[in-house]
């Protein structure tokens, strides 16, 4: 008999706290108040907003808006994430694997701007297009893109539906918000510490595909990151742990040995089992 399922890495409480609520120090309290108001009114349907507010010690104006159908942004975000399966996605599921690939993409070739939380993914072409197609198919949302007018610059892909909710989910998973450089504190997602190997492998493969340059002569894969030395060492250690081979850091460069690169080459294709709708 199996034990209880582990909790989803994306929790409603953490998602709510990516939103700003001026009247609340903790946005989760806003979510709790909203549902308490709806529950109280369902049990006392004849009471009006003033009576409900007095009973729950909440401002009448806030209660009246909620009873008239207004939904706070964090509540709406949680509901949309639930409907898309992002909130309860388990670490081995197809949906979570898509979120994991998009998270890796934010680290290695994308960004989440800090005001609106809309994620953007730089896609250079070729195999990268196939990977991003499969990632969006796995999470169940479509995208549009903007082609750069600068030659050899990557195309920028952006989700269409619930873009800011998706960005917030990726932030809850650990993806960085705003600039990524050696003056910002960035860590690898905590969920990778206990994730199935397939999740870790797809994270690493996506990262290297976006950032790495393979040496035809040596077989090594090298990439340069303007990040803190601590981050680079943790990234190198993570790759080394999952390949069992040498990965080193030199200044701002991460060097994946030919032996480690050979192991990664033998891993299954990223989201290779995900069918992209035609």
Q: Is the pLDDT of residue 150 over 70?
A: no
Among residues 177, 169, 264, 249, which one has the least CA distance to residue 214?
264
Work out the pLDDT band at 115, boundaries 50, 70, 90: confident
Q: Is the pLDDT of residue 226 over 60?
A: yes
Work out the pLDDT band at 122, boundaries 50, 70, 90: very high
pLDDT at position 151 is 57
Q: Is the pLDDT of residue 6 over 70?
A: no
Average pLDDT over the chain, rounded to whole? 93
Q: Which CATH number fits domain 94-265: 3.50.50.60, 3.10.28.10, 3.40.50.2000, 3.30.1490.20?
A: 3.10.28.10
Among 19-23, 95-99, 179-183, 201-205, which is the least confidently predicted range? Answer: 179-183
Among 21-30, 60-69, 89-98, 147-156, which is the least confidently predicted range? Answer: 147-156
For the stretch 168-219, pLDDT in tens is 999 999 999 988 887 788 999 999 999 999 999 999 999 999 999 999 999 9
The count of C-alpha atoms lying within 13 angstroms of the C-alpha of 28, restricted to the half-sphere facing its C-beta, is 6
Work out the pLDDT band at 118, boundaries 50, 70, 90: very high
Q: Residue 214, Cβ neighbours under 10 Å: how many?
A: 15
pLDDT at position 2 is 39
pLDDT at position 7 is 54
Q: Delimit the domains of the chain by residue range.
A: 12-83, 94-265
Among residues 77, 59, 82, which one has the least CA distance to residue 19?
77
pLDDT at position 114 is 84
- pTM here? 0.93
Q: pLDDT exceeding 70 applies to what percent of the chain?
A: 95
Q: Which residue has the higher pLDDT, 10 or 268?
A: 268
Among residues 33, 29, 10, 158, which one has the least CA distance to residue 84?
10
What's the mean pLDDT in 101-111? 97
pLDDT at position 126 is 81
What's the mean pLDDT in 79-107? 95
The three-class DSSP label of residue 58 is coil
What's the mean pLDDT in 104-113? 95
pLDDT at position 3 is 39
Among 78-82, 111-115, 230-234, which is the least confidently predicted range? Answer: 111-115
What distance in Å separates the CA atoms of residue 5 and residue 133, rounded to the nearest whole number?
A: 29
Work out the pLDDT band at 152, boundaries 50, 70, 90: low
Question: Tokens 């089992």 belong to which residue?
Answer: 273
Q: Is the pLDDT of residue 5 over 60?
A: no
């Amino acid at each position: 008999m199996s034990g209880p399922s582990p909790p989803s890495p994306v929790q409603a409480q953490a998602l709510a706290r990516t939103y700003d609520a001026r009247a609340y120090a903790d946005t989760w309290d806003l979510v709790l108040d909203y549902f308490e108001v709806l529950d109280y009114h369902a049990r006392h349907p004849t009471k009006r907003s003033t009576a409900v507010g007095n009973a729950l010690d909440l401002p009448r104006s806030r209660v009246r808006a909620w009873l008239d159908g207004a939904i706070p942004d964090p509540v709406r975000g949680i509901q949309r994430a639930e409907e898309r399966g992002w909130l309860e996605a388990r670490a081995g599921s197809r949906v979570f694997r898509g979120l994991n690939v998009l998270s890796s993409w934010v680290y290695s070739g994308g960004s989440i701007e800090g005001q609106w939380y809309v994620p953007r993914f730089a896609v250079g072409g070729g195999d990268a297009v196939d990977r991003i197609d499969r990632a969006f198919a796995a999470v169940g949302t479509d995208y549009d893109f903007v082609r750069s007018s600068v030659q050899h610059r990557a195309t920028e892909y952006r989700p269409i539906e619930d873009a800011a909710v998706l960005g917030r989910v990726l932030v809850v998973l650990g993806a960085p918000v705003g600039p990524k450089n050696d003056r910002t504190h960035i860590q690898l997602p905590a969920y990778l510490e206990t994730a199935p190997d397939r999740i870790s492998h797809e994270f690493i493969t996506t990262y290297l595909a976006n950032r790495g340059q393979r040496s035809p002569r040596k077989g090594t894969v090298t990439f340069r990151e303007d990040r803190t030395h601590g981050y680079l060492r943790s990234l190198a250690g993570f790759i080394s742990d999952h390949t069992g081979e040498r990965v080193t850091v030199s200044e701002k460069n991460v060097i994946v040995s030919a032996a480690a690169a050979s192991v990664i080459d033998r891993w299954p294709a990223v989201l290779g089992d995900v069918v992209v709708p035609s």
